[in-house]
Amino acid sequence: MEIQTIGVVGAGQMGNGIAHVMALAGYDVLMSDISQEALDKAVATVDKNLERQVSRDRISQAEKDAAMARIRTTMTLTDLGPTDLIIEAATERETVKQAIFEDLQPHLKPHTILTSNTSSISITRLASRTDRPEKFMGFHFMNPVPVMQLVELIRGIATDEATYKACLAVVERIGKTAASAEDFPAFIVNRILMPMINEAVYTLYEGVGNVRSIDQSMKLGANHPMGPLELADFIGLDTCLAIMNVLHDGLADTKYRPCPLLTKYVEAGWLGRKTKRGFYDYRGDEPVPTR
């Protein structure tokens, strides 16, 4: 089956990035959200990011204009029903995702493939609540979507080969690389990345180093482009904690126990860049470590 139309659920940071790369690759995109303000902001963000690509000679003005013309928005979720592929990029809460797929189900075409951009929730479990578990898989983009080259494709226990191949063709058409992952907690990237971030928080919690020394050590000592605490702020500390809880609950291994300091920051509402405070304070001209 050749995919031509793509529905994107959620107009946040991930949703607008997915819409951007899909429209640029020639797909017709319909993006939905419960907020018109979020949809307007998403379209403006895509426009700004495409303009940046034009200014750097990555794409032409005509390619940008064509991509923008392929993006439509709606506040009515069920409008996405007739699309060939739906990518859900809503809040990382299982109940929210289940409700979205439940609402979409009566309006889908028989061939429509359902996917989730979840970073850690069981694909098999999400698929089992739909009428098409064989046409359901994980389609996990990295943030920021237009820049990051990897997409994790996660098969649930029931995902069929045709669905996998159709999604793989999409990844190739948008010029990214697919990593095939099995459906176990946090898949590949976050299974490896989040415990490293959690260990960096433990290193801070136990007083082995401060925020600056921990980040400098990993940037200069391991050649990481961002330190782990800086990266945690970029991802969102609530997201980091949620993924650590998925790992801890799903694998029942104490090595995945979330650091109490990470929990404390989330309880304080210090979630990183999006709230202007996390392991760094972003309210001034330069980020300042908070401990």
Any idea which residues carry the catalytic annotation? 119, 140, 152, 190
Q: Is there a contact between 156 and 107 (Cβ–Cβ < 8 Å)?
A: no
* Residue set of the binding site for NAD(+): 10-15, 33, 92, 97, 119, 143, 274
Q: Is there a contact between 167 and 113 (Cβ–Cβ < 8 Å)?
A: yes
Q: Is there a contact between 28 and 67 (Cβ–Cβ < 8 Å)?
A: no
* Residue set of the binding site: 10-15, 33, 92, 97, 119, 143, 274
209 phi/psi in degrees, rounded to 5 = -155, 165
Inter-axis angle of helices 211-221 and 228-235, nearest 10: 110
* Amino acid making up residue 132: R
**Which residues, other chains included, contact 26 with Cβ-Cβ below 8 Å and sequence gap of 6+?**
70, 173
* Amino acid making up residue 20: H
Return the beta strands (E) in 183-232 as ranges. Answer: none
Pairing of strands 28-32, 71-74: parallel
Closest CA to 84 of 112, 114, 103, 109: 112
Q: Is there a contact between 138 and 116 (Cβ–Cβ < 8 Å)?
A: yes
Q: Which two tokens stand for residue 212?
A: 């600056």
Which strand ranges, in their side-by-side order, compose the sheet holding 28-32? 71-74, 28-32, 5-9, 85-88, 113-116, 136-141, 150-155, 177-182
Phi-psi label, residue 154: left if phi above 0, alpha if psi -120 to 50, beta otherwise: beta
39 phi/psi in degrees, rounded to 5 = -65, -45
